[in-house]
Amino acid sequence: MVKICCIGAGYVGGPTMAVIALKCPDVEVVVVDISEARIAGWNSDRLPIYEPGLDDVVKRCRGRNLFFSTDVERYVGEADVVFVSVNTPTKTRGLGAGKAADLTYWESAARMIADVSRSDKIVVEKSTVPVKTAEAIEKILAHNGRGVRYQILSNPE
């Protein structure tokens, strides 16, 4: 079974992964986040976000092939495909302040992926990121990856 892990259980990651789980019942999909409250919300009857029809999709898939967890490192390590859907706020200081995306969370996610991966992975950008971010992420993964091979894809919102 193909295993997908999405880092980030917000407005993009959660609904996107729910639809993938619905349309691909033979794929295991795990959405991970460091926020215990957000994951608890996804595992409850009151989802942390609203999208028309999302409740029904999650109820149909959760516990079958759609799971929500705070065990980020475990599920990233086990995944064949890792979607990264983390916050990319506008920089508040330094070069590009007020205009450029702050990639701190993305870079942190890339380093963690490299640290926990023991098998080759496809890493998918699912955040709003500047052009050429994939190249920067590929460098982080290659530098820290201990021989694990990565394919980087971009799938913007």
Stated pTM of the model: 0.90
- Cβ partners under 8 Å of residue 63, min gap 6: none
Higher pLDDT among residues 131 and 114, named by residue: 114
Element (H, E) at 115: helix 104-116
Find the domain containing 69 and state its range: 2-154
Question: Could you report the per-residue pLDDT of 107-129, keeping only the tens digit for each?
Answer: 888 899 999 999 999 999 887 66
How many Cβ atoms are within 10 Å of 62's Cβ, its own excluded? 15
- Report how far residue 149's alpha carbon sits from residue 67's, in angstroms, rounded to the nearest whole number: 26
Share of the chain above pLDDT 90, in %: 64
Total number of domains in the chain: 1
Residue 130 pLDDT class (50, 70, 90 cuts): low
Q: How far does Cα 22 stand from its chain's mean position?
A: 17
Tally DSSP H helices, then E strands, for the chain: 6, 6
User: What residues pair up with 82 in beta bridges, in sequence order?
Assistant: 5, 123
CATH number, domain at 86? 3.40.50.720
